[in-house]
């Protein structure tokens, strides 16, 4: 009996520390893949979103802890991405071997990773939508598929913006279209297929629906709170669309783009006027360009039309992005049940 209790205690401690163990393992893999990548500039660009995702997961861990299964799936996907960033997606050795051996027209490693994004990340997204969003069983699956498709489209848009802003050679390496003009659409479609498979056939979803999704409709939020959440969600979406449109359309005219982004900033800071909002904005305004300045000075990447080393509008865009992420996380985590451990 005593031995059994000790085993249960050890297993419980192991489960509690599973996210930390995964993080340590991923950091080790990431450190190895950071050594002499094939294209250092492309490696930096590929890892910008990694820094944001890992930082968000660590920063919100105490407030919203995913299940161990979700953290495991995230770690698998992030590891595949780290390997792809090391070799560049279009020059992954396994993909080159399959291309030559099976006479494919291109290296398909990027397509595989896009498919696995939908297949693996659907489960964590479902947990987030089910617990923080308060959605019920069927709606969780529908919203998860929509979220995967939306994030895939967002990533392709970001790739397009980066390809325009940085040097042409680096933009081509980062996009990795390999001569396929429909590359973005095919990548998003594969992510959609992966999400559909995960939400309909994935065994993890059976446990999710049975153990996590609420068996009855969640209680309605008080009217002022609900209105505030809808208002913040609309604001977040408006800021994203406005900023992305300005950068895509006006990047060849840096001073005009700067005025447009300053207008977005003024509107954001007027609507979101808490002290923490201003702190996040100015932290991004100062720290983001400093990091990019160091990266560009070290040869990590270059910009097509810099004022000195970085574009004149970059600090403002970093401030907008910092406040945008802060408000996005606050909106997603303002639902009920965001802090329970589901293991």
Report the C-alpha gap between 318 and 281 in whole angstroms: 8
* Residue bearing the bigger pLDDT, 138 or 190: 190
Bigger pLDDT: 85 vs 250: 85
Mean pLDDT, the chain, integer? 78
**Mean per-residue pLDDT, 35-56:** 86
3-state secondary structure of 36: coil
Out of 171-185, 279-293, 315-329, pick the least confident.
Answer: 171-185
pLDDT at position 218: 41
Of 291, 318, 37, 299, nearest to 167 (Cα)? 299
Q: How far apart are CA 61 and CA 338, in angstroms?
A: 10
Say how far apart CA 235 and CA 230 lie, in whole Å: 9
330: which 2 tokens? 């606050």
Contact 164, 248 (CB under 8 A): yes
Cβ atoms within 10 Å of 181's Cβ, excluding its own: 7
Residue 173's pLDDT is: 55
User: How far is residue 319's CA from residue 329's CA, in Å, rounded to a whole number?
Assistant: 16
- Indicate the pLDDT class of residue 117, thresholds 50, 70 and 90: very high
What is the DSSP secondary-structure string of 117-131?
A: HHHHHHHHHHHHHHH
What angle (nearest 5°) sits at the alpha carbon of residue 286, between those of residues 281 and 287?
A: 100
Q: What is the pLDDT of residue 207?
A: 45
The C-alpha atoms of residue 208 and residue 77 are separated, in whole angstroms, by 20
pLDDT value of residue 77:
94
Torsion of CA 27, 33, 39, 44, to 10 degrees: 0
Q: 203 pLDDT exceeds 70?
A: no
Residues 6+ apart with CB under 8 A from 85: 33, 37, 42, 43, 46, 47, 50
132-146 pLDDT, tens digit per residue, is: 777 777 778 888 888
Torsion of CA 49, 55, 59, 61, to 10 degrees: 80
pLDDT-based confidence at residue 78 (cuts at 50, 70, 90) = very high
């Amino acid at each position: 009996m005593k031995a059994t209790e000790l085993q249960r205690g050890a297993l419980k401690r192991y489960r509690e520390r599973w996210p930390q163990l995964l993080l340590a393992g991923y950091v080790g893999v990431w450190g190895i893949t950071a050594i002499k990548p094939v294209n250092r500039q492309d490696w930096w660009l590929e890892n910008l979103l990694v820094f944001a995702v890992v930082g968000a997961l660590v920063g919100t861990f105490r407030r919203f802890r995913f299940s161990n299964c979700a953290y495991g799936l995230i770690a698998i996907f992030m590891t595949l991405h780290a390997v792809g960033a090391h070799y560049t997606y279009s020059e992954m050795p396994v993909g080159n071997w399959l291309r030559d051996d099976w006479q494919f027209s291109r290296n398909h490693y990027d397509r595989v990773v896009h498919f696995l994004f939908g297949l693996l990340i659907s489960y964590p997204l479902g947990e987030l939508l089910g617990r923080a969003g308060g959605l019920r069983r069927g709606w969780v699956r529908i919203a998860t598929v929509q979220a995967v498709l939306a994030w895939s489209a967002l990533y392709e848009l970001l790739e397009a913006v980066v390809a325009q802003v940085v040097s042409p050679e680096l933009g081509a390496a980062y996009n990795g279209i390999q001569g396929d003009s429909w590359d973005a659409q095919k990548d998003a479609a594969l992510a959609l297929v992966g999400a559909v498979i995960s939400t309909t056939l994935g065994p993890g979803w059976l446990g999710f629906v049975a153990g996590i999704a609420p068996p009855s409709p969640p209680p309605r939020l008080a009217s002022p709170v609900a209105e505030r959440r809808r208002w913040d969600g609309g604001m977040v979406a408006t800021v994203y669309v406005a900023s992305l449109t300005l950068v895509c359309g006006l990047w060849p005219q840096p001073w005009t783009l700067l005025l447009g982004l300053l207008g977005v900033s003024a509107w954001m800071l007027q609507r979101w006027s808490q002290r923490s909002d201003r702190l996040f904005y100015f932290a991004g305004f100062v720290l983001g360009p400093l990091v990019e300045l160091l990266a560009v000075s070290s040869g990590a990447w270059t910009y097509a039309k810099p004022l000195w080393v970085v574009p004149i509008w970059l600090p403002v865009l970093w401030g907008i992005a910092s406040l945008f992420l802060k408000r996005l996380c606050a909106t997603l985590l303002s639902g009920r049940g965001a802090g329970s451990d589901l293991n």
